């Protein structure tokens, strides 16, 4: 009986260190929420609001509530980075994701509320761009409204 080898051999037949299939990074699984966030917020393009992909992320978050803190941390870090780079389109998309999370994950709001409030505080402290401060005000109003609706309905 023959034994199969577990060694990975690239399609080209030669073993070189530059082959992407042999790098350790390419063999590690990527977390689904990171993949969804990367699809919503591409690194090298202008971010646009894609409701279908944002809906997928929110559906994933509602089915996996233990992942919500990591999703919020990832979004928060990305938001701070985009604010530093003055990429306000991406910041708008991130705030849209948070709005969808507020509406779809009502019971899990405490898991990402501190992250959202930190972002709102940072947006309101921006002195260079009034547009960003307005985004912060609108997001704060949305957050308060969701809190009121959720508190009154229970």
For 69-128, write each residue's pLDDT tens digit: 999 999 999 999 999 988 888 999 999 999 999 988 888 888 999 999 999 999 999 888
For residue 107, the tally of other CB atoms under 10 A from its CB is 10
When the pLDDT of each residue in the chain is averaged and rounded to a whole number, the result is 83
22 or 110: which leads in pLDDT: 110
pLDDT over threshold 90, residue 149: no
Write out the two tokens for 11: 């399609």
Q: Residue 99: what pLDDT? A: 93
Q: 36-65: per-residue pLDDT in tens?
A: 998 888 777 676 788 999 999 999 999 999
pLDDT over threshold 70, residue 129: yes
Q: Residue 10: what pLDDT? A: 55
Q: Residue 63: what pLDDT? A: 93
Q: Which of 129, 82, 152, 44 is nearest to 97 (CA)?
A: 82
Q: How many helices (H) and strands (E) does the chain have?
A: 6, 0
């Amino acid at each position: 009986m023959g034994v199969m080898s577990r060694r990975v051999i690239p399609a080209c037949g030669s073993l070189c260190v530059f082959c992407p299939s042999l790098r350790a990074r390419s063999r590690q699984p990527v977390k689904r929420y990171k993949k969804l966030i990367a699809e919503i917020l591409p690194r090298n393009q202008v971010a646009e609001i894609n409701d279908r992909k944002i809906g997928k992320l929110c559906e994933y978050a509602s089915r996996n509530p233990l992942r919500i803190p990591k999703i919020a941390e990832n979004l928060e870090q990305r938001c701070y980075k985009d604010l530093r780079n003055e990429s306000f389109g991406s910041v708008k998309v991130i705030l849209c994701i948070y709005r969808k999370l507020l509406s779809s994950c009502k019971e899990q709001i405490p898991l990402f509320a501190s992250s959202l409030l930190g972002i709102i505080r940072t947006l309101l402290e921006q002195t260079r761009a009034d547009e960003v401060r307005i985004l912060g005000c609108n997001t704060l109003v949305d957050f308060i409204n969701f809190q009121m609706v959720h508190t009154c309905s229970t």
